[in-house]
Amino acid sequence: MPSISKKGMRMPASPIRKLVPYAEEAKRKGRKVYHLNIGQPDIPTPDVALDAIRNIDLKVIEYSHSAGFESYRRKLAGYYQALGLDIDYTEIIITTGGSEALLFAFNSCLDEGDEVIIPEPFYANYNSFAISAGVVVRPIMSSIESNFALPPIEEFEKLINPRTKGIVICNPNNPTGYLYSKEEMLQLGEIAKKHDLFIFSDEVYREFCYDGEKHFSALELKGLEEHVILTDSVSKRYSECGVRIGALVSKNKEFMNTALKFAQARLSPPSLGQIAGEASLETPASYFHEVSEEYVERRNYMVEALNQMPGVFTPKPKGAFYTVAKLPVDDSEKFCQWLLESFEYKNQTVMMAPAAGFYASPGAGKDEVRIAYVLKIDDLKNAMETLAHALEAYPGRTL
């Protein structure tokens, strides 16, 4: 029998999706499952995007340019310019989601065995992208006790060796919701310049910053234009996860020329998705104001509800729509499976993502979960009530 590749064997299952069969079985039993495991907002997609799709008048759905429609790239450059970022449309490649953007970035910048440093916990698929590209992830621990702030720069220095080629940062952060400050980003810029490293900056949650805090883009780092590679997406910004449209943005011409070759190999990004993405740039500012207010209300409720549960702690995130919570359980993966397989309260249960899958260090995050506050308040209230009763009933409770 032919054998599966070693790379395939090492590819991890998604901690966000691996418990789906148990959730489906719970639903077959007639239970209501509150999905707090995945960043799929229930926020409506902007009307301008939906109208653009409804009103498509094409005889043929053709390939686009491998870098994406020029009209879209020009309009997207205007979006960045409005943020104070000096970006030309030639410095943008449209991708099939932010995932493909990071894959192109890794494959363009890193050789087999090269290393990237990533503060953990981090978006679980970074591990998958690294395995796909033959890249080695060197994790650097951030802690829930410090609200997942950037680890000390000295800790980065300890990991840097001749094979280190870059640092990956997600700002605001998935899974923690931490918003890196200008000062923290400047520190990363200094170490990148000192050691001649790339900064792969994932900024897909840029619009979701709370409590009056401002987002500082890696593209604002002076003197690092050749170092910074930004990955972006419409998925969360416009609640368009299914259109699969992202972007690579960089002023490094050699990198962009290389990434375009990978883009050519997959022919073109989705044409219908680009139509939605381009139209979305007409979304009024009021949309984001309302969405931000909604997420702040959800965050405030959920963080307070979690921290009132005996033995539970979560920081108050300043961005995105996730938080990582420490629970009084022996193993959060067992607990999350038990919730779906064996527990119900008022014929309902909760699906969360075990946090261990967001770490690369063995054993880390074993008593933590990532929770996405992407449901309306009434659903969150039911979910938190259910979780509180589940923690009281769980056989592996440690408190």
**For residues 287-295, average pLDDT:** 96
The hierarchical CATH code for the domain 6-44+286-393 is 3.90.1150.10
Per residue in 6-16, pLDDT (tens digit) is: 999 998 888 77
Give the phi and the psi of residue 214 in degrees, each rounded to 5: -110, 145
Q: Strand (E) positions, the chain?
A: 32-35, 92-95, 115-120, 136-141, 164-170, 198-202, 228-233, 246-249, 322-326, 348-351, 353-354, 368-372
What is the pLDDT, as a whole number, of residue 15? 73
Task: Please list, in sequence order, all residues whose beta carbon lies within 8 angstroms of the beta carbon of residue 357, skipping any fewer than 6 positions away.
Answer: 12, 14, 15, 16, 18, 124, 365
User: Cα(127)–Cα(104) distance, rounded to whole angstroms?
Assistant: 15
Give the phi and the psi of residue 350 in degrees, each rounded to 5: -130, 140
What is the pLDDT, as a whole number, of residue 370? 97
User: Cα(297)–Cα(248) distance, rounded to whole angstroms?
Assistant: 32
With cut-offs at 50, 70 and 90, classify the pLDDT of residue 18: confident
User: Cα(79)–Cα(251) distance, rounded to whole angstroms?
Assistant: 16
> How does DSSP classify residue 11?
P
> How does DSSP classify residue 367?
T
Nearest residue to 266 (alpha-carbon basis) of 398, 95, 115:
95
User: Cα(171)–Cα(322) distance, rounded to whole angstroms?
Assistant: 12
What is the token pair recorded at 89?
A: 């449309």
What is the pLDDT, as a whole number, of residue 180? 98
Per residue in 129-140, pLDDT (tens digit) is: 999 999 999 999
User: Cα(321)–Cα(301) distance, rounded to whole angstroms?
Assistant: 13
Residues recorded for the chain: 399
User: Cα(323)–Cα(335) distance, rounded to whole angstroms?
Assistant: 18
Per residue in 241-280, pLDDT (tens digit) is: 999 999 999 999 999 999 999 999 999 999 999 999 999 9
What is the pLDDT, as a whole number, of residue 100? 98
Q: Scanning the structure block, which residue is given the tokens 């949309």? A: 287
Q: Parse the chain into domains and list their residue ranges.
A: 6-44+286-393, 47-280
Per residue in 49-100, pLDDT (tens digit) is: 999 999 999 999 999 999 999 999 999 999 999 999 999 999 999 999 999 9
Report whether 327 contacts 368 (CB < 8 A). Answer: yes
User: Cα(322)–Cα(177) distance, rounded to whole angstroms?
Assistant: 5
| CATH 3.40.640.10 is right for the domain spanning 47-280 | yes
Per residue in 165-212, pLDDT (tens digit) is: 999 999 999 999 999 999 999 999 999 999 999 999 999 999 999 999
User: Cα(120)–Cα(227) distance, rounded to whole angstroms?
Assistant: 22
Average predicted confidence (pLDDT) for the chain: 96
- Amino acid residing at 143: S
What is the pLDDT, as a whole number, of residue 111? 97
